[in-house]
Amino acid sequence: MKRTITISLLLICSFCAIGQKNKIYSSLYEAFKNKEQVYKLNLSYNKLTEFSDSITQLPHLQYLNLEGNKINVIPPSIGSLKNLRTLNLKKNAITKLTDQICNLKYIEVLLLSENQIQKLPDSIGNLKNLGWLFLRNNKIEILPESFAGLSNLKKLDLSDNQIHELPANFGNFDKLKELLLQNNKLSNLPTSIRGLKSIEALNLSDNEIEKLPDNFGNLKNLEWLICKNNKIEHIPESLGTITKLKLLYFNSNKIDKLPKTLGNLINLIDLNISGNSFSKAEKNKSKQLLPNCKISFKNTYYSIQKAIAYKKNVDVLHLSDNNLTELPEHIEEFKNLQELYLINNQLKNLPKSIEKLKKLEALSLSYNKITELPDFINKLKNLQQLDLDNNQLTYLPESIGDLKKLKSIHLSGNHFAKDEKERIQKLLPNCIISF
């Protein structure tokens, strides 16, 4: 009987301990009532301006969330939280990390995105158990040599910084599965990148990379690679040996053809090579090379400044939500433009220059302040889709009837009278009209 009671008591104590470990405290006041039993503390979005040293008096703390405060300094005392596994300091105002943060030898998750960190501690490589490191949207320019010592990393986010070079030993992360490096200032990659043998997802977009290493094909587990908005002229032939690739984006580079080896990518289902310099013949070759892959050739731009540099190759131009009061003066120079999106601006009319967009198939002008559609709209002979909903129109010109290829026109949210609606339907008998 005594043995049964003892076992029961042990089980009860065990369940109580598990329950205590799962409890998340949301105030220091409550936590200090029982500080020896505090394992998780969430003080996120509390308008804190400093990291309280009293937190370091919680000896068993494993999870600490301080996201969304206004903390700018992390005190050296943080190094005394020897049992910490997860530390979330996202969305603060931290400019520098204390060296003592590198004493957190059991830390597994470190979230530091959306701060103002300019430099990482030289000893950051001491965090041997770190598996997830997020540093997105800071001001980091250089990574310390010891960075490659983070040998247990599985996901690394360094996007939206100012990094212009990766350490020569960057390829030491043999457990890394996801690497995000978009929107930095990288012009090249170290040859050691071949060492990322576990990498499955890699984003190198919005840098200044001119060439990918020839040994890129060593990344045999890579499933998706995004390299848009760089200065790459050639895709390395070795890429064709990465047969696990499913998604490949090289849009907005300087590429004019695909290497024949890409035909070996039997799992590739999505290839975006828009915004490059492919001739019609090369586009056809690409389709033959990858007959079962969805290939995007349309050169799509979201900025007039970037588009003007490639004006002869612009197929799709998105200028929505830009508060435009008139169309850019360069619009007539986009001779091959097929789709133009100007949704949610402040446009009141269309300039005559738009009639020069002879290849335009889709024109979206929803949510503007247009009061009148010009007669020369009929010059857009290839127009198939016209979106004019939520403007200030009361009628359409007779010339709208000349758009014989028009398949759909959206006119809801305007001020058409009943007889005007009937007139429009007669002008466009084969077009789907929504009022």
Q: Is residue 15 part of a domain?
A: no
pTM of the predicted structure, to 2 decimals: 0.76
> Beta 294-296 vs 270-272: how paired, if at all?
parallel
| Separation between Cα atoms, residue 431 and residue 287, nearest integer Å | 32
Task: With respect to residue 258, please indicate whether it lies within any of the assigned structural domains.
Answer: no
For tokens 């983070």, what's the residue? 150
Side-chain-facing half-sphere of 249: CA atoms under 13 Å: 18
With H, G, I as helix, E, B as strand and everything else as coil, classify residue 214. Answer: helix
CB-count exposure of residue 26 (10 Å: 0-12, 13-18, 19+): middle
Question: What is the Cα–Cα distance from 109 to 107, expressed in whole angstroms?
Answer: 6
Report yes or no on 355 lying in a domain: yes
Last residue of a domain, one of 163, 184, 206: 163
DSSP letter assigned to residue 130: -
- CA-to-CA dists, residue 393 to 368, 412, 424, angstroms: 10, 10, 13
What's the CATH number where 128 sits? 3.80.10.10
Residue 230 Rama label (left phi>0; alpha psi -120 to 50; beta): beta
**DSSP one-letter code for 96:** B
Whole-angstrom distance, CA of residue 212 vs CA of residue 204: 10
Alpha helices (H) in 211-324, listed in sequence order: 280-289, 304-308
The pLDDT score that the predictor gives to residue 3 is: 57
Scored b (16 or more CB within 10 A) or e, 201-239 reads bbbbbbbebeebbeebbbbeebbbbbbbbbebeebbebb
Give the bridge partners for 81, in sequence order. Answer: none
Q: Per-residue confidence of the chain (435 residues) as pLDDT tens digits? A: 555 554 444 444 444 444 467 899 999 999 999 999 999 999 999 999 999 999 999 999 999 999 999 999 999 999 999 999 999 999 999 999 999 999 999 999 999 999 999 999 999 999 999 999 999 999 999 999 999 999 999 999 999 999 999 999 999 999 999 999 999 999 999 999 999 999 999 999 999 999 999 999 999 999 999 999 899 999 999 999 999 999 999 988 999 999 999 999 999 999 999 878 889 899 999 999 999 999 988 878 888 887 887 787 788 999 999 999 998 878 888 988 999 999 999 999 999 999 999 999 999 999 999 999 999 999 999 999 999 999 999 999 999 999 999 999 999 999 999 999 999 999 999 999 999
First to last CA, the chain: 83
Question: What is the torsional sign of CA 302, 305, 310, 311?
Answer: positive
Structure tokens at 135: 């540093």
Order of all β-strands in the sheet with 432-434: 300-301, 316-318, 339-341, 362-364, 385-387, 408-410, 432-434
Residue 298 confidence (pLDDT): 83
Distance, in Å, from the CA atom of 13 to the CA atom of 309, rounded to the nearest integer, reads 70
Residue 183 structure tokens: 């929107």
Which of residues 108, 143, 163 is at a domain's end? 163
What pLDDT, on a 0 to 100 scale, did the predictor assign at position 9? 44
Q: Which pair of structure tokens corresponds to residue 129?
A: 């158990």
pLDDT of residue 16: 42
Q: Which neighbouring-strand residues pair with 202? A: 179, 225
In whole angstroms, what separates CA 15 from the centre of its chain? 43
Q: What is the pLDDT of residue 302?
A: 84
Q: Name the domain boundary from 163, 196, 227.
A: 163
In a domain, 214, yes or no: no
Q: What is the pLDDT of residue 252?
A: 84
- Side-chain-facing half-sphere of 402: CA atoms under 13 Å: 11
Which residues are CB-neighbours of 2 under 8 A, at least 6 positions away? none
Helices (H), strands (E): how many in the chain? 5, 20
**CB-side exposure of 338: number of CA atoms within 13 Å?**
8
Q: Is residue 61 part of a domain?
A: yes
Could you tell me the residue range of the domain that residue 88 belongs to? 25-163
Domain count, the chain: 2
Q: What is the rounded CA–CA span in Å between residue 369 and residue 319?
A: 16
What is the C-alpha to C-alpha distance for residues 211 and 206, in angstroms, rounded to an integer? 14
Phi, psi values for residue 426, rounded to 5°: -75, -35
